[in-house]
């Protein structure tokens, strides 16, 4: 198996059903693709957060 791109430790493959990913047990690197966008979400007030929680 390949070495971790972050810490050069050994990688492990984790599988659940038909889905699998590669992870490093040493530095917790996970080969999971993500999209990062540089804009921060607008801050939510505590009142809005509570209202959203109670609506569910």
**Which sequence spans correspond to the domains of the chain?**
1-33
Whole-structure pTM value: 0.47
Calpha distance 23→25 (Å, rounded): 6
The per-residue pLDDT string of the chain (56 residues; one tens digit each, 9 = 90 and over) reads 578 888 999 999 989 898 888 899 999 888 876 677 778 788 999 999 999 999 97
Class of residue 56 by CB neighbours under 10 A (exposed 0-12, middle 13-18, buried 19+) = exposed
Say if residues 1 and 11 touch (Cβ distance below 8 Å): yes
């Amino acid at each position: 198996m390949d070495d971790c791109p972050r810490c050069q430790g050994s990688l492990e493959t984790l599988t659940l059903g038909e889905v699998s990913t590669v992870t490093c047990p040493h530095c917790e690197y996970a080969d999971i693709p993500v999209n990062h966008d540089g804009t921060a979400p607008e801050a939510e007030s505590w009142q809005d957060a509570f209202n959203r929680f109670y609506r569910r």
